Amino acid sequence: MTKQLILTSTAFLALAVGSASAVTMSSVIVTAEASKSAPAPLITQQDVVAQVSKHPAEVATWHLLRDDPAGLELWIMIDDGTNSNVGIQFNDIKAFIRQQPREVKVAVGYLRNGSVMVAQAPSTDREAAVKAVRLPIAMPGISASPYIAVADFLHKLPAVPFQPREIVLISSGIDPYYGPGPQNPYLESAFNDAQKAGVPIYTIYYSSAGRSGRAFRQVNWGQNDLSELSEATGGKFFWQGNMNPVSLQPYFDEINRRYAGQYVMRLDVANVHHGFERLQLHTESSNVKLVGPLQVYVQ
């Protein structure tokens, strides 16, 4: 009998197991990053070395994400507890939406009461997404835990068919349900669910409304949590110290560069187990790093 297994990377990853020791993985999305923020060179299938839980994996197929027939769903999420002065960044956000390639479907959502309120479903209509951008409610803690909201969103995603997705999250990262401190269980649930769903999350620090937005300890832990969420899922964290960024455009430029260097990869690997397994990726190309989630999930 053939069992169906699921692995995730920077996007959704499905597995079909023909025996207890051999697993064929499909649709792994990998980001090739060049040094000094330069555009990554073209990476070939022969340039890639992969391991799953320290077991060698064969790169069976490899192609650019922008050539994938499903296209990318790009979700822009804004925490409704964010300081309302984020409105001065709207020109950058709208320009970022309009810059997306034709094959990218853009969606806009707001984190509120532990869930994501969808203002614009994924669409190639750029102006519809632009019109969905509004000021946050700017009420401290209105998102509940931002990590609960992200996890709730990820739980509701359809598992199949393969659909690459990425999230750009604008938030202070402050979790009023857990408070400042290590090993936030809601954060862990969010990045575990993102790893299962194969969704990399880019996080952008922007201060919270109210006193918490000026409390150093809370700001520091919020930034730490945002950084951990991005690192665990294969995304990237953007911040400018404890201050709000002057402009979001440099961050969006970096996200656009990453998309241009993303690939869909299928692996063949043996001796994997149920649960989370560590993913390691390397390339023989000089001055290039391959970035994915820290773990993949076998179900």
CA Rg, the chain, in Å? 19
Structural domain of 57? 3-64+262-298
State how far the alpha carbon of 266 is from the alpha carbons of 72, 256, 269, in Å.
17, 23, 10
| Closest listed residue to residue 42, CA positions, set 274, 288, 266 | 288
Decide the pairing of beta strands 3-8 and 12-17.
antiparallel
Instruction: State whether 37 and 92 are in the same domain.
Output: no
Sheet holding 105-112, edge to edge: 115-123, 105-112, 73-79, 165-171, 201-205, 237-238
| Closest listed residue to residue 40, CA positions, set 21, 59, 64 | 64
Under the banding of pLDDT at 50, 70 and 90, the label for residue 268 is confident
Alpha carbon 13 to chain centroid, angstroms: 14
pLDDT in tens, 108-154: 999 999 999 999 999 999 999 999 999 999 988 888 899 999 999 99
Instruction: State whether 120 and 238 are in the same domain.
Output: yes
Q: Tell me which of 25 and 248 has the higher pLDDT.
A: 248
Instruction: State whether 178 and 276 are in the same domain.
Output: no
Q: What is residue 244's DSSP assignment?
A: P
Over 70: is that where the pLDDT of 287 sits? yes
Domain count, the chain: 2
Instruction: State whether 113 and 127 are in the same domain.
Output: yes
**What is the maximum alpha-carbon separation in the chain?**
58
* Phi and psi, residue 249, nearest 5°: -60, -40
Q: In this structure, what CATH number is given to the domain that contains residue 200? A: 3.40.50.410
Instruction: State whether 144 and 213 are in the same domain.
Output: yes
pLDDT at 96: 98
Over 90: is that where the pLDDT of 180 sits? no
Instruction: State whether 214 and 88 are in the same domain.
Output: yes
Instruction: State whether 246 and 121 are in the same domain.
Output: yes
Name residues whose C-beta falls within 8 Å of residue 250's C-beta, 6 or more positions apart in sequence.
none
State how far the alpha carbon of 9 is from the alpha carbons of 52, 60, 70, 88, in Å.
11, 16, 16, 34
How far is 151 from 115, CA to CA, in rounded Å?
Answer: 8
Instruction: State whether 7 and 47 are in the same domain.
Output: yes
pLDDT at 233: 94
Yes or no: say if 288 and 33 are a contact pair by the CB < 8 Å rule.
yes
Residue in the structure block whose two tokens are 């922007």: 206
Yes or no: say if 236 and 227 are a contact pair by the CB < 8 Å rule.
no
Instruction: State whether 113 and 234 are in the same domain.
Output: yes
Mean pLDDT of 220-238: 96
Instruction: State whether 159 and 223 are in the same domain.
Output: yes
Instruction: State whether 167 and 52 are in the same domain.
Output: no
Q: What is residue 140's DSSP assignment?
A: T
How far is 27 from 164, CA to CA, in rounded Å?
Answer: 9
Over 70: is that where the pLDDT of 8 sits? no
How far is 54 from 35, CA to CA, in rounded Å?
Answer: 26
Instruction: State whether 225 and 267 are in the same domain.
Output: no
Residue in the structure block whose two tokens are 């922008």: 66
Over 50: is that where the pLDDT of 43 sits? yes
